[in-house]
A = this chain, B = another copy of it.
Amino acid sequence: MEMTQMNEPLKVALLGCGVVGTQVARLILEQGDDLTARIGRPLELVGIAVRNLDRPRPEMLRPLLTTDADALVARGDIDVVIELIGGVADAGRLIRSAFEHGASVVTANKALLASEGETIFPAAERAGVDLYYEAAVAGAIPIIRPLRESLVGDAIQVVMGIVNGTTNYILDKMTTEGLDYQTALVQAKDLGYAEADPTADVEGFDAAAKAALLASIAFHTKVRGDSVHREGITHIVPDDIRAARDLDCVIKLLAVANLLDDGRISVRVHPALVPNSHPLASVGGAYNAIFVEAAAAGRLMFVGPGAGGAPTASAVVGDLVTVARNRARGVVGPRQSLYTDRQVAPMGALQTRYFLRFRVTDEPGVLAAVAGVFARHQISVQTVRQMPVDNAALVARDTAELRMTTHLATEDAMLVCLAELRASPQVRSEVRFIRVEGL
């Protein structure tokens, strides 16, 4: 009896066969013997659901294709469904159907988990199946399992990462080659690092979904993607990058989740000045990196390819093997731990440091007036630098640029201070304002 059971293949259905899906199928088919040995049972890829049967695909995948994803998932004999179609509505319906038909699920769908995780995780639990999603955050970098399992005995204080390769590539180009945002975006599109409609990346939606997942795991609570404060990089100008460099910093789009003193958490995505001495500063190109600070472990960092077909497929197949091993032994993995019910604090409650840049009339007493505004709001100024204005032809001769950094201040106080600065007669331009992280 045991031999039969041991040799009985575990049946796998793949939903979606784009860049990642094709690599996943290839790994399953080409590494069959190794995966069998690692799992203790063979895997059988029984079907691949696609939208369009006519797209060019590897020959060996052709016999497996179907356009009826719902029927594939509902066969009733599937052990593991791999969901790589993305989006929320179809993917959510198919994953729930997989659970109802007794299949475990591996997915890379951060948007779905960040918006419907509250119901999807319990649905997996009720069905007694696994739901794994290592590929949903930071591509090939193992981060979900380390947070859920390796660091589960520790008290995590901060998770901060570069989790979107598109924006990191664009900011990197702006930094190293002095390009403006639009030019860097076009290059990113040409190289396939940015999509035709780059909104999800450049406006921070993708990073916000990942921040929600990271915060949920790190702080054992439920965080939805839409409760994450989100700012993108479209407003970053070369002068910001240059000003950051003068402060020995780079500008990165960060996803940050940290514990506040009152037990609430701050979860946010925004560009930030990061000191060059911080390990995240040197993470360039399309790489991702996650920095974790925990009470006992101290400071850890995980770096690797954040996207791409093969790296993402590596994470998916790693989950597939784990889920299949569980299945072969008749068990499920540890459940999402959500016992704390920590609240996501509004941005106003955040305490961080700020960088400001604005033009002022260049006359005696201006700095005193500006400093007075900060003082009234109890914001301690760390550095002030008065710079000649770059392009003197375009502005009145009697203006200078002030660049200021603050010590820790609450965002509430900072916003009131900003409003007052903007209304101040000495201030002659918009007041640019970027948070400083990683000090």
A interface vs B, CB < 8 Å? Answer: 23, 27, 31, 34-35, 37-38, 134, 140-142, 145-146, 149-155, 220, 279, 282, 294-305, 308, 310-311, 313-322, 325, 329, 331, 334, 337, 339-340
* Residues of B contacting A37 in the complex (Cβ-Cβ under 8 angstroms): 220, 337, 339-340
- Partner pick for A311 among B155, B298, B329, CB 8 A cutoff: B298
**A142 vs chain B, min Cβ distance (A):** 3
Contact A296 B153 (CB under 8 A): no
Contact A220 B38 (CB under 8 A): yes
**A219 vs chain B, min Cβ distance (A):** 11
Contact A315 B27 (CB under 8 A): no
- 9 pairs across A/B with beta carbons < 8 Å? A31-B153, A142-B300, A150-B318, A294-B314, A297-B305, A298-B304, A299-B304, A299-B305, A325-B334
Complex CA distance for A320 and B150, rounded to whole angstroms: 10
Say how many copies of this protein the assembly contains. 2
* Residues of B contacting A220 in the complex (Cβ-Cβ under 8 angstroms): 37-38
- Partner pick for A322 among B152, B296, B313, B317, CB 8 A cutoff: B152
* Residues of B contacting A311 in the complex (Cβ-Cβ under 8 angstroms): 296-298
**A327 vs chain B, min Cβ distance (A):** 12
Complex CA distance for A298 and B23, rounded to whole angstroms: 14
Closest residue to A141 on the B side, CB-wise?
Answer: B300
Contact B299 A300 (CB under 8 A): no
Most buried by B among A31, A146, A320, A340: A146
Known: A149-B321, A298-B314, A302-B303. 9 other contacts (CB 8 A): A23-B296, A37-B339, A145-B150, A296-B310, A296-B311, A298-B305, A299-B304, A300-B303, A301-B301
Complex CA distance for A337 and B340, rounded to whole angstroms: 35
Contact A297 B145 (CB under 8 A): no
